[in-house]
Every structure is written in C-alpha cells, then in structure tokens.
C-alpha cells in the first residue's frame, strides 16, 4: 500500500475553466527516495512537515515488498503529482524501484506536467552530475535500463 497525506481542504491546481489542458493534480508532491537510506530520518521528517503545511504528499508504504515490480498505482501517483522531490542518497542508484520512478518522473517532466526538485542527502551533487561513485557501479549492473544512466545525469544537472 502507498500512503498519501491529505490536507483538510484539498486544493486542486487546476482552474475552474473548461480547458482540458489543465491537469487535475491529486497530489502536490510525490516523494522518490531510497527507503533504506532516508525513510526513518530525512524523508520521514520531510513528509511530516509537508503534511503539516497541508501539502498533499504521496510516498510509498514501508510494507511494499522489496524486489517486486512497482505497482501501476505508484506510477499513476507520479503522473497525478505536480512536483516530485527526488531524494538522492548513497543507495539510491542501487534501487531498481528508485530508478524506475526516476524514469517515470522524467517522462512526466518532458510532458511539462511535473516539476522535479532534487535533494542531495549525504551525496555530493558532482557525483550525480558526473556519474561517479554513487551511480556508475550500480548502473553497470542495470544495463537492461540504459536510459536511466542518462536520466540520473540530467537529475544532477538540475542544480
């Protein structure tokens, strides 16, 4: 299961006009993070702070089984979010889930529907930008997803 914090007065960023080009956001923020690195500390505090401010935030539930494929619900949550906060941490690039979510974030960003906000948690942004220690070894093991190397570099360049 995934968790979505809702505010007492859910606000939609779409206007009341009949234009179909205005998307209706179900979440303000989608949190993309490596649970082993940040769930019990940084991301947990961030989630609580966003929730307290009434910001509708989606993050994956800790009870999701490791190693299983990402549910369509999780990918749909990215599509239905206005912002994605990507918490890049030491083990981020080792997580197939994180990288799959990252690819979906960039896909939605290309469609001008999503703004990506990278956060570097105990990681040097130049490592991400230059594909060094943080990324190179794990990504070499994930050759089945070649576009992710490029997307991680793009994430590093968002600074």
Reduce the DSSP state of residue 23 to 3 states and report it. coil
Catalytic site residue 101?
A: yes
Distance between CA atoms of 14 and 65, rounded to whole angstroms? 34
Q: Of 73, 79, 101, 107, which residue is the catalytic one? A: 101
| Both tokens assigned to 139 | 């990504």
| Both tokens assigned to 8 | 């007492």
Alpha carbon 113 to its chain's center: 14
Distance between CA atoms of 142 and 150, rounded to whole angstroms? 13
For the annotated catalytic residues, the residue numbers are 101
């Amino acid at each position: 299961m995934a968790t979505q914090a809702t505010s007492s007065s859910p606000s939609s960023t779409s206007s009341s006009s009949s234009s179909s080009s205005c998307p209706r956001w179900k979440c303000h923020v989608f949190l993309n993070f490596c649970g082993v690195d940040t769930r019990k500390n940084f991301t947990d505090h961030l989630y609580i702070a966003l929730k307290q401010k009434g910001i509708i935030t989606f993050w994956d539930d800790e009870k999701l089984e490791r190693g299983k494929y990402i549910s369509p619900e999780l990918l749909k949550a990215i599509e239905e979010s206005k912002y994605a906060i990507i918490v890049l941490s030491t083990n981020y690039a080792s997580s197939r889930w994180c990288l799959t979510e990252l690819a979906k974030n960039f896909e939605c960003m290309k469609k001008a529907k999503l703004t990506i906000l990278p956060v570097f948690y105990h990681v040097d942004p130049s490592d991400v930008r230059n594909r060094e220690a943080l990324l190179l070894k794990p990504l070499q093991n994930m050759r089945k997803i070649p576009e992710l190397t490029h997307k991680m570099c793009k994430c590093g360049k968002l600074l």
